[in-house]
Structures are given as structure tokens and as C-alpha cells.
Amino acid sequence: MANAKIKSSWQWAAYGLLGCATVVTLYPLLWVVKTAFSPSQTLDPSPNPLPNAFDFTHFSHLFTAAEQGAHFGDYFMNSLMVALATAFLGVILSCTAGYAFSRLRFGGQDKGLALFILTQVIPGVVMLIPLYLILEKLRLLDSLMGLVLCYAATSVPFCTWMLKGFFDSLPKEMEEAAWVDGANTWTVFTQIVLPVSRPAVAVAFLFSFMTAWNEFILAATLLNAPAKYTIPVALQKYIGAYQAAWGSFAAGALLASIPVMLLFFYLQKHLVSGLTSGSVKG
């Protein structure tokens, strides 16, 4: 009896906490919604974050303001293509390395892994000009392919590191059984390890996707043809030297966050177990 009472009071505390957190989370976000649906182009600084109008001009403007025949729909498709390609490429390129660092034993292994982790701390702003020169040599300027390669390369170290952590946490028994049966490394990896690693692969996929989805400066520097622009580049055009069209920007930002939200929603379960290495139950 007493126990149940304690339990229910804890539940109320949990509801209270989550309710507060929800309010704090939504309050600034409602402003984005309000700005997107207001007919004006300015941010309203009043404390009331609820939309006072439901006006779709900014949304329709996104799809009608065509430049060389391209509008928000095209940018959306470009971004989607680039982000998906980056995510697939990032995962494919990094999964074997993650497995090697986790299960194979080879000389200089720790140094190789350290190299990967260290790339995470490189400040991105310094890389622009050298990347431009390299892509020029590869003849990949002004192409979405070049962009995908750059994004995938930046996400590979993180994915490798994360996958390695996950593989470490897998029990070795299954693999050992397969070894005894005479399977080679490749078979063990593809037939036994990968199928149970879905959570980690999902996280790697999501992170690569986000890298590509939100990046602005590299895309703006490398792409010249408006038909190839990605969403961040197209949205940034609303921020001018003297004034910003916040209404259109907010509308675009809202639309841009939908795929990410869907992805989060869809991968939620995997995210939880994929991000915490060593947390998978046997």
C-alpha cells in the first residue's frame, strides 16, 4: 500500500518534470511556427508565441519563386538525394573498418583508431580552400557528387568509431561458433554481425544524414548552378546584407525539419540502444 503511494507520487513528479520540459522545449519552437505562418517577414518579439494568423504566403512563395526553373521542391530533392547518398556511403565505407578495429588484431591498430577519432576535433572553418583545390583536381566542383564525397568523408570517422563501440559490446560466442564451423571473416561479418547491428547502423545512418542535411558553407562555395542548390543554400538566400526575410526562412526551416523528425521518429528505438555502446542486452 505504502509502496504504491510512493510510486504514484513519483509518477506525478515525472509528469510535472516532463510537462515543464515540454513547455520550455516548445516555447521557442512555436515562434518558428508563428513566423512561418505570419504574413510579414519579421520576427515578432512579443512574449506570446502562438500564431496570430494562418497565412500560407511564405510556403507558396517557396514553391513559386523559381530561379532558372528551380524552386524549393527541387532543393528539397537535391538535399534528400545528397543526404541519403551520404548516409548510405558513410555507413558502407565505415562498417568494415569499425569491425576491423573491434575484432581483428593488427599492428598499429590503436594508432589508426586514434587518427579517426582525432579528425572529429578539426575545426571545419579551416578546410574550405584546401577542399576546393582537391575537388578541382578531381573535377568535382559544382557537382552534387563532390558534395556527397566531402560529407561522407567527414562522417566516416564518427561512424567508424561508433560502430566499433557497438561491435565491442556484442557477445563473441556467436562469432566463435561460426569460426569453428569454418566460416571466413567476411561471412561472419555479413551473415552474423551485421544483422544484429541494426541499431548502430541506424545511428550511423542518421548522423551522416544530418551532417549532409544541415551543412551550408561548403555547399554554397562548391555549387554554382541554382538547379543544384541544397536546402541550406536556398534558405540562406533569404538572409541578405541589409535585411532578412524571416518569414520565408522560417517556412523553409519548418519544411526542412520534417524529414529529420520523421527519421528520428522512425529510428527512435534504434537510437536509444545504438548510441550507448556496451548497453545491449545479451
Partner 1 sequence: MKAGRCLALMMGLALWASAASAAQDMVLWHSYRGAELKALDSVVKSFNNEQSTIKLETISIPYEAMASKLEVAIPRGHGPDLFIYAHEKAGAWSANELLSVVPQAQAQWAQQNMLPQAFKGVSVGAAVYGYPLAVKSAALFVNTALVKEPIKSVDDFGALKGKPGIYPLVYETDSFYFHAPWFLGLGGSPLDAQGKVALNTPAFAESLDLVRGFQERQWVPQEVTATLVNNLFNGGQAAAVMTGPWFLGEIKKEVAYEVRPLPKLANGQAATPFLTVEALWVAQTSANAQAAHQVARYLADASSAQIRLHQGRQVVPLASAWRGDGEREIPQDLLAFYEQAQVSVVMDNRPEMSLVWEPAQLALQNVLRDGVPAQEAMAKAAHRAAAIQKPLPPAQSPTVYLILLSLLVLAGMAYLIRGVVRINQQGRGKQSAVGWLWTLPAMIPTLLLVILPFVFSLGLAFYAHDKGSFTFVGLAHFKDILFAQTFDLLKPLSFYYALAVTILWTLSNVSLHVAIGVLLAVALNQKGLRLSGWFRVILILPWAVPNYITALIWKGMFHKQFGAINAVLNSLDLEDISWFSSFGTAFFANLCTNIWLGFPFMMVVALGALQSIPSNIYEAAQVDGATPSQQFWMITCPNLLKPMIPALMLGCIWTFNQFNIIYLVSGGAPDNSTDILITEAWRWAFARQGRYGYAAAYAALIFVLMLVLFQLQKKVNQWQTQK
Q: Cβ 32 to partner 1, closest distance in Å?
A: 6
| Nine-digit cell string for 127 | 578546410
Smallest separation (angstroms) from partner 1 to the CB of 40: 8
Long-range own/partner contacts, residues 214-221 (CB < 8 A, 24 or more apart): 215/151, 217/125, 217/128, 218/128, 218/131, 218/147, 218/150, 219/147, 221/128, 221/132
Q: How many CA atoms are closer than 13 Å to the CA of 143, on its beta-carbon side?
A: 9
Minimum distance of partner 1 from residue 181's CB (angstroms): 20
| One of 78, 79, 86, 154 touching partner 1 (CB under 8 A) | 154
What nine digits make up the cell of 20?
515543464
104 binds partner 1, rule: CB under 8 A: yes
| Binding letters toward partner 1, positions 1-20, x by CB under 8 A | -----x---xx-xxx-xx--
Kindly state the cell numbers that stand for 40.
510579414
Q: What angle do CA 174, 176, 181 make, to 5 degrees?
A: 100
Stretch 24-43: interaction string toward partner 1, x if CB under 8 A: xxxxxx-xx-------xxxx
**Site map (CB under 8 A) of partner 1, residues 171-200, x = contact:** --------------x---------------
CA distances from 3 to 8, 9, 17 (A): 9, 10, 21
Which three cell numbers, joined as nine digits, stand for 84? 541519403
Q: For the chain, first and last CA: distance in Å?
A: 35
Least distance in angstroms from the C-beta of 191 to partner 1: 16
Q: Alpha-carbon distance 16 to 13, whole Å?
A: 5
The verdict on 278 binding partner 1 (CB under 8 A) reads: yes
The whole-angstrom separation of Cα 43 and Cα 49 is: 11
Window contacting partner 1 (CB under 8 A); options: 50-58, 77-85, 161-169, 174-182: 161-169
Secondary structure string (H, E, C) spanning 237-269: CCECCCCECHHHHHHHHHHHHHHHHHHHHHHHH
Given the rule CB under 8 A, which of 50-58, 80-88, 175-183, 256-264 is the region that contacts partner 1?
A: 256-264
Query: Binding of partner 1 at residue 145 (CB under 8 A)?
Result: no
Considering the complex, what minimum distance in angstroms separates the CB of residue 180 from partner 1? 19
Residues in 107-126 that interact with partner 1 by CB under 8 A = 107-109, 112, 114-126
Stretch that binds partner 1, among 51-59, 79-87, 157-165, 171-179 (CB under 8 A): 157-165
Note whether 46 binds partner 1 by CB under 8 A: yes
Q: Which amino acid is at 203?
A: V
Asked if 238 touches partner 1 (CB under 8 A), the answer is yes
Binding segment for partner 1 (CB under 8 A), chosen from 50-58, 78-86, 102-110, 171-179, is 102-110
Q: Are 234 and 75 in contact (CB under 8 A)?
A: yes
